[in-house]
Chain A
Amino acid sequence: MVITGYVLEIAQVILALLLAPGLAGFVRWLKARLQNRRGAPPWQPYFELRKLFGKEVVMSNNASWLFRIAPYIIFASTITVTLLVPMIVAPLALDGMGDLLMVVYLLLLGTFFLALAGLDPGTAFGGMGASREMTVAAIAEPTIALAIFGLALSAGSTNLGRIVTQELANTAVTLSPGHILAFVALFIVTLAETGRLPVDNPATHLELTMIHEAMILEYSGRYLALIEWASWLKLTIFFTLLSNLFVPWGIATTFDPAALAVAVIALIVKLAVLGGIIAVVETRVAKLRLFRVPELLGASFVLALLAVTSSFVLK
């Protein structure tokens, strides 16, 4: 039983790694269709990864050892998060290893090293992107913690696996005002943290408007592949948090193969629905001016605060 748990943990990491490029490709494909274009097929990111791993690495003369190790740290910290987030089964074997705070700060560790790597080669755009990313991360990060605290309060634990199992045991709680407010707050933060519109435009080629891409302009070959893969993985993690913490149905609570198969299908359906919502939102909204971004994130922080308050009052 214990062994099965660890095998499932590894299976979950592999599943997340395989699903992440497909999810990014699906959002891109849907966006292309909404722009009346034919667009690249949803599996395009897999070709991109294969290409990048097959290419040479060109480094700036000014880049230090930090520039070399940063992609590995970013990739590793993101993978570690997938060990903690219940994707197909709850509670996980390594559930005791860390809770929601661990998830939030592991993601932030990746962001921190990405910003350092952006500063390292000393290019103008890298520094600008790093400064912007840190601004957004500093405002967005408390909201993630607070939004999930709203759920933790009704579940009585900050452990993600426990939040999911508690919700499955008491399904009425998923429609409580605290949960709905927390969902909206976390959704807005997801847009900011994963570099989607209206905070950052993932399809931009204008250096002056970039946040995420400005930091990785100096990366090439396999380093670029790792960073891109990690950012797609981050999108998958946030979508999984949004779907499995707020709509936990479908997730397996036992190691029964049939339940696990249902859980995988449910996860893919939930990710596709959220991907569809993101594509529609990105078609509809324009990018916010950088100085307006704190207002949007401030609004989501207030929503998260209301979520915690209402969960506390209604408990």
Chain B
Amino acid sequence: MPALFKKILQTGIVTEPLGPDEAEIIQLVAQVDRKVQQLLGRALAIREVDAGSCNGCELEITGLTGPVYDSERFGIHFVASPRHADMLLVTGPVTRNMEVPLRKTYEATPDPKLVVAVGDCAKTCGVFKGSYAVIGSIDKVIPVDVFVPGCPPEPADILRGILAALDRMPTKRT
């Protein structure tokens, strides 16, 4: 037991500061309402929905809760139920089987709510484009507020995408 706490003290905080969006890849589709931003700005609950992704994006999203990217410092945390959620983090192209569950999840989320689509597949269907199992991009099924491109996007970019919807993204140093 002393060894564990000694290691904790020696390691210190490993959370990296989040820089601005240098590459300008985050695509804000719609300007989110000011009131919604104020309500959700300091406490955001996210429900992750896999609409048919290859799980590459999920791997990166898992990094958000870890010590390095630590989304909790912004008051962002993941929840187990869409009823607790304020934001849906949707990945992958929408497959035929996931179309109805995705729409139902959106309906089960209480207003006001935001949708962030993560990964190239979410917008263009990526390598799955044209497949008989895929019905299209996420904005064909539910309204999307922010697209985060990348295959898969880095955890830092996903975090920037979430913060962009809340208008809390770190600004560029001029």
Mask of A201-220 contacts with B, CB within 8 angstroms, 1/0: 00011110010010001111
Q: In the complex the two chains form, is A54's CB within 8 Å of B80's CB?
A: no
Instruction: Find residues 38-74 in chain A having any chain B CB closer than 8 Å to their own CB.
Output: 38-40, 44, 47-48, 50-51, 54-58
Chain A residue numbers with a CB within 8 Å of B112 are: 55-56
A37 part of interface (Cβ distance < 8 Å) = yes
A205-263 with Cβ < 8 A to chain B: 205-207, 210, 213, 217-221, 224
Contact A47 B81 (CB under 8 A): no
Question: Per DSSP, are chain B's interface residues mostly helix, strand or loop, or mixed?
Answer: loop
Partner of A37 from the list B43, B72, B109 (CB cut-off 8 Å) is: B72
Of A51, A207, A210, A280, most B-chain CB atoms within 10 Å? A51
The answer to the question of A315 belonging to the interface, with a C-beta cut-off of 8 Å to chain B, is no
Binary contact track A125-150/B, C-beta < 8 Å → 1, others 0 = 00000000000000000000000000
B40 within 8 Å of A by Cβ?
yes
Q: Of B14, B72, B79, B110, which is within 8 A of A221 by CB?
A: B110
**CB within 8 A of A220: which of B11, B70, B73, B83?**
B83
The answer to whether A36 touches B13, judged by C-beta atoms less than 8 angstroms apart, is: yes
How far is it, in angstroms, between the C-alpha of A218 and the C-alpha of B109 when the chains are bound? 11
Inter-subunit contact A58/B39 (CB<8 Å): no
Q: Closest Cβ of chain A: how far from B23's Cβ, in Å?
A: 24
Q: List 9 A-B contacts (CB under 8 A).
A: A38-B73, A39-B70, A40-B77, A44-B42, A44-B75, A47-B75, A55-B111, A217-B80, A217-B83
Considering the complex of A and B, which 9 residue pairs feature the smallest CB-CB distances, nearest first?
Answer: A47-B42, A220-B83, A47-B43, A38-B15, A38-B73, A217-B81, A56-B110, A48-B43, A56-B111
